[in-house]
Structure formats: structure tokens, C-alpha cells
Amino acid sequence: MRRQLTTREWMLLALLGVILLVSGYMLLFYMPQTAERDRCLGETEACRTEIEAAQLRLEEKRRMERELEALFSAETPPLSIADYDNLQPVMFELNSILASAEDYSLSFSTVDASQAIVRRSISLSFTTRTYESAKAVLQQLHDSAFRCMLDSVNITVGQGEQDAVAVSGTIVFFEYQAEPQSPAA
């Protein structure tokens, strides 16, 4: 039984001690600190992204507020959407606009009241003497006091002595209802 360690054995023990110290440092201190730092950097980046998104939303809100201020400060107030069941005023409006046409006909479709914005589709056809008068009627329909959309407009210019212009299409009026009706089952 030998009591003394050789120099080589002392060197190996010293090397093993250094390896244990470095491994212990890495395992118990460096790796947890690195993981915590990475987690904090990730949280910081997420917060930065949220701040940027909030700033973009704030800037967009300010831009919309400026647009609304400009819109409501203009000479003519903006059009609003009429309340639901606005058929009688729409009919008066259509009659006054289409009075300049030689003749006209209207065909009403089923009203789509399944959402808050009701769609009232009306197929129309009318004839005028000139293209300019047909264009004027279409412009008046477009600029109506009620929110509407012209769709599927077809213009036919007549040939020969009677150069009548025939116009057909669909106009959709939009109305607002607070509580949409559920479709019948």
C-alpha cells in the first residue's frame, strides 16, 4: 500500500478539480443566467413589439379623428345610412330622379335583413332621349340622399331616327337596423 501520490497523479487530480470547477460554474451559474437573460430579452422584444403596435393603432386613431373632424367641418355634412324600412322616402327619391326619363320601370327584390346593414335591391330600367340625359339620371342616382350602389348597369344607344337610350341595371339601397332579423327556418 503506497501512501504518496506521484506528480502525474497530482496533475491529474488538479486537472479533474479544474474540470469540476468549470463544469460546476457552467452548470450551476452560467447556463441558468444565460437562460434567464434570453428569457428577459424575449420579453423585452415582445414588449417592444406591443408598444410599436400600440403606437401604430394610436397614430391610426389620430388620423381617423383628423379625417372625421375634416369631414364634419366641411360645408356639406356626410351622408348617413337611413334607418330600416325606408321604402317610402326611397320611392319618392327614385320618382323625383326618374321623372326626367321618358319612361321607367322598377322591380323590387327580397330585402336582405339578415345583418345590421339591410340591402334593398331594386332592378330598374328607363329610357331617355340622349346619352347625356341618361348619364345625368345615373349620376343623380349615384349622388342620392340615401346610401346606394349602382350595379350591373347596361346602356344601349338606339340606332336610326329615334336615338333613344335604354338603361337597365340594379340599384342597392342600404339601411341600418339595430337588431338583424334571423332568417326564417
Q: Is the pLDDT of residue 160 over 70?
A: no
Do 136 and 111 meet the contact criterion of CB atoms below 8 Å apart?
A: no
The cell for 166 is 335604354
Do 175 and 85 meet the contact criterion of CB atoms below 8 Å apart?
A: yes
Is 16 inside a domain boundary?
yes
Examine the domain organization and report whether 99 and 152 are in the same domain: yes
Q: What number of residues does the chain have?
A: 185
Instruction: Give the domain-ending residue among 78, 103, 122.
Output: 78
Q: What is the pLDDT of residues 100-130, one digit of tens each?
A: 888 999 888 888 877 778 888 889 999 998 8
Examine the domain organization and report whether 98 and 156 are in the same domain: yes
Examine the domain organization and report whether 98 and 74 are in the same domain: no
Examine the domain organization and report whether 112 and 160 are in the same domain: yes
How far apart are alpha carbons 164 and 159 in whole angstroms? Answer: 8
Examine the domain organization and report whether 118 and 172 are in the same domain: yes
How far apart are alpha carbons 35 and 44 in whole angstroms? Answer: 14
Q: What global pTM score does this model have?
A: 0.53
The residues near 26 (Cβ < 8 Å, ≥ 6 apart) are none
Q: How confident is the model at residue 183 (pLDDT cuts 50, 70, 90)?
A: low
Examine the domain organization and report whether 53 and 99 are in the same domain: no
Is 183 inside a domain boundary?
no
Q: What is the pLDDT of residues 146-155, one digit of tens each?
A: 888 888 888 8
Q: What is the pLDDT of residues 39-57, one digit of tens each?
A: 999 999 999 999 999 999 9
Of these ranges, 15-29, 78-92, 121-135, the one predicted with the greatest mean pLDDT is: 15-29
Examine the domain organization and report whether 22 and 74 are in the same domain: yes
